[in-house]
C-alpha cells in the first residue's frame, strides 16, 4: 500500500467515524427536544390530563422527568462514543503506520 492510498483510507475511516457521531448526536438531541420542548412545554396541557402518582404528567415531566432524561442522555452519549472511539482506533490500526506517526495531543 502506498502512502496516498493509506492516507485516503484513513480519511474514509475518519469521516465514517464523524458521520456515526453526528447520527448519534442527532438522535439524542431529538429525544432531548421531545422531553423538554415537546412533553414539558408544547404538549403540557394534553399530558396534564394523565396522572402520574399524585401529580399531572406534563407538570411532572417539566419538573422531574425531563431532568432525569437529560442525565441519562449524557451518559448514553459518553458510553456510545467510547464504543465508536474504540472501533475507529481498531479500524485505523491496520493501516500502515510505521512512518512518522505523531501524537497530535
Partner 1 sequence: MTVEVWTTILVIISFITYLYIGWRSRVKDTKGFFVADQGVPALANGAATAADWMSAASFISMAGLISFLGYDGSIYLMGWTGGYVLLALLLAPYLRKFGKYTVPDFVGDRYYSKFARLIAAIAAIFVSLTYVAGQMRGVGIVFSRFLQVDISTGVVIGMVIVAFFAILGGMKGITWTQVVQYCVLIVAYLIPAIAISQTLTGNPIPQLGFTFSDIVEQLNGIQVDLGFQEYTAAFANKSKVDVLMITLALMLGTAGLPHVIVRFYTVPDVKGARYSAGWALLFIAILYTSAPALASFARYNLIDSLHDKTIEEVQDLRWATQWEKTGLLGFEDKNGDGKIQLTPDDDTNEIKIDRDIIVLATPEVAKLAPWAIALVAAGGLAAALSTASGLLLVISSAVAHDLYYRLINPAATEGQRLMVGRFMVGVAIVVAGYFGINPPGFVAQVVALAFGLAAASFFPAIVLGIFDKRTNREGAIAGMLVGLISTTAYIVMIKFGGAEPWFFGISAEGFGTIGMVLNFTTTLIVSRFTPAPPREIQELVANVREPDHAPEPLSDIGEEQLD
- Point out which residues bind partner 1 (CB under 8 A): 3, 6-7, 10, 14, 17-18, 21-22, 25, 28-29, 32, 36-37, 40-42, 44-45, 48, 52-56, 58-60, 62-64, 66-68, 70-71, 73-75, 77-78, 81-82, 84-85, 88-89, 92-93, 95-97, 99-105
Cα separation, 11 vs 91, in Å, equals 12
Burial classification of residue 90, based on how many CB atoms lie within 10 Å of its CB (0-12 exposed, 13-18 middle, 19 or more buried): exposed
Nearest distance, CB of residue 7 and partner 1, angstroms: 6
Strands (DSSP E) found in the chain: 51-52, 55-56
Cα separation, 67 vs 90, in Å, equals 35
Nearest distance, CB of residue 69 and partner 1, angstroms: 9
Nearest distance, CB of residue 28 and partner 1, angstroms: 6
Nearest distance, CB of residue 57 and partner 1, angstroms: 10
Give the list of residues 6+ apart from residue 87 with CB closer than 8 angstroms, or none.
17
Amino acid at each position: 500500500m502506498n502512502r496516498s492510498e493509506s492516507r485516503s483510507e484513513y480519511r474514509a475511516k475518519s469521516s465514517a467515524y464523524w458521520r456515526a457521531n453526528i447520527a448519534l448526536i442527532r438522535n439524542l438531541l431529538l429525544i432531548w427536544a421531545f422531553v423538554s420542548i415537546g412533553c414539558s412545554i408544547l404538549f403540557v396541557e394534553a399530558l396534564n390530563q394523565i396522572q402520574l402518582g399524585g401529580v399531572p404528567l406534563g407538570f411532572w415531566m417539566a419538573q422531574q422527568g425531563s431532568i432525569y432524561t437529560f442525565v441519562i442522555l449524557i451518559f448514553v452519549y459518553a458510553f456510545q462514543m467510547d464504543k465508536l472511539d474504540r472501533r475507529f482506533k481498531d479500524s485505523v490500526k491496520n493501516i500502515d503506520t510505521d512512518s512518522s506517526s505523531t501524537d497530535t495531543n
